[in-house]
Amino acid sequence: MKRLLKLAVFFLLIATVFVYSAELVIYTSDSFAGGIAKVVVPKFEQMYKCKVKVVSFGSMGDVLARLIAEKNAPKADVVIGLNPQQLQKAIKENLLQKYRATNSKNLVYKGFVNDYGTVYDYGALAMIYNIEKIKNPPKSFKDLLKPEYKGKFVLIDPRTSSTGLTFLMWTIAALGEDGAMEFWKEVKKNVLTFTSGWSAAFKMLETGEADMIVSYATDGAYSMYKYGSIKYMPIIFEEGAYVLEEYAAIVKGAKNLALARAFIEFMLTPDFQKEVPLNQWMFPVIDVQLPDVYKYVPAVKKILRLDPSINDRLDEILKKWEKAVIG
């Protein structure tokens, strides 16, 4: 009996050491790593008595490229921050393991449910401008072509950034594919620069290098929260709004599969979702109370959508964009 007891204690100690030494590796973007991850990761580590290593490669395009490069010997367990187009590309590249979160039952919009990716936030894109510098803001995509805005705004490269790619999709949804490419041929003449990701663009806005950038409709709430006034005003163009969803997924070949599944489930709980509005500056995907500053988010009157089949032509569309912008 004593021997059995000693064996039981021995295996319990081994199991305890294993749990405490387990490390979950997450690949993500600078914006997630530098924001909400700092709040939610310690919660998860405490809950599961594990370590979480958050690895950022700048933009989500860079993250996806790294996953493809490591396809035969994956180092990540979870990837966070894929937009719908990047999610489909990752599925097509056979980078992800199928997993439908049990907590998907908590989603406000059932259309977000996916067999590979788990949605954790969403929000409408917008142009945001510094009200101290821009007195007559653009109201449409075509307004961005006006000479008065030359050198005033920054756009984001759709080949490297989730936000940039979503903005490209917004132009296609608003103007049609051919119309969008014509728009890009013209708008490049007014663009101050193209950044590789959202974080770099927003930094240029905050330092005064740019007066307008592509961002999100929630930035009015952010401005009120941080500055006590609306310094950065969001505009949803009159053509209509385009909504971005962001997804997390389990990497195929993940070494810590149990922890990866646990983190995905954790992302759809109140412990994670209540931190989304003031850290991710997007809308939560389950029913949690929004902060008061979210009353400064402009109402979306018209939502533009694209046929999901466009995701199958992503490489072709990006080549068209390159031809239009780079030549």
Give per-residue pLDDT as tens, 117-176.
999 999 999 999 999 999 999 999 999 999 999 999 999 999 988 899 999 999 999 999
**pLDDT value for 9:** 41
Extents of the domains making up the chain: 23-121+245-291, 123-243+299-326
Q: How far apart are CA 307 and CA 312, in angstroms?
A: 10
pLDDT in tens, 183-205: 999 999 999 999 999 989 999 99
Do 123-243+299-326 and 23-121+245-291 have the same topology in CATH? yes
The answer to whether 81 touches 162, Cβ cutoff 8 Å, is: yes
* pLDDT of 20 above 80: no
Q: Model confidence at 21, in pLDDT bands (50, 70, 90)?
A: low
Task: List alpha helices for the chain, DSSP H.
Answer: 2-21, 30-34, 37-48, 60-69, 84-92, 162-175, 177-187, 198-207, 219-227, 257-266, 270-273, 276-279, 314-325
Could you tell me the fold of the domain covering 23-121+245-291? Answer: D-Maltodextrin-Binding Protein; domain 2 (3.40.190)
Long-range CB contacts for residues 136-144, cutoff 8 Å, separation at least 24: 137/212, 137/233, 137/235, 138/212, 138/235, 138/237, 139/235, 139/237, 139/238, 140/237, 140/238, 140/239, 141/171, 141/174, 141/175, 141/183, 141/187, 141/237, 141/239, 142/183, 144/187, 144/190
Superfamily of 123-243+299-326 according to CATH: Periplasmic binding protein-like II (3.40.190.10)
pLDDT in tens, 294-313: 999 988 889 998 988 888 89
Q: How far apart are CA 111 and CA 124, in angstroms?
A: 16
